Amino acid sequence: MTAGVDPIVFYLTIFVLAIFVGYHVIWNVTPALHTPLMSLTNAISSIILVGAMLAAGPAQLDWGGWLGVLAVTLVSINVAGGFLVTQRMLDMFRKKEPKSGEKA
């Protein structure tokens, strides 16, 4: 039945379903974590690094290839920065300190 269907239709299917998944997952995020949510989604959107790598991947780099290298560098800032700053924030969210208290 799927024979003859253009691949774009599959991508659209994935797209629409992913939006639904996103909608339901995001509404479950506690409002207290909305800032980490933003930095995390930011890190996740850096997945376009995959595209940048492909652009920077040919054996011989012309100007477009070097533009890809530049894109790789820019998005790598996001990947590292996004995940690490999220980690840093999440580490701050603690319950009431246990009696001994690791931090004053």
State which of positions 30-89 bind other proteins (CB under 8 A).
30-89
Closer of 3 and 25 to other proteins (Cβ): 25
Taking the complex as a whole, how short is the minimal distance between the CB of residue 1 and other proteins, in angstroms? 20
Max CA distance (Å), the chain:
66
Q: Give the count of beta carbons closer than 10 Å to the beta carbon of residue 55.
A: 18
Residue found under tokens 């850096």: 46
CB closer to other proteins, 1 vs 60: 60
Q: Contact between 9 and other proteins (CB under 8 A)?
A: no
If phi > 0 it is left, if psi is from -120 to 50 it is alpha, else beta; for residue 23 that is alpha
Q: How far is the CB of 3 from other proteins (least distance, A)?
A: 18
- d(CA 60, CA 44) in angstroms, rounded, equals 29
Total residues in contact with other proteins, by rule CB under 8 A = 85
> What are the strands, taking DSSP E only, across the chain?
none
7 binds other proteins (CB under 8 A): yes
Among 2, 92, 99, 100, binds other proteins (CB under 8 A): 92
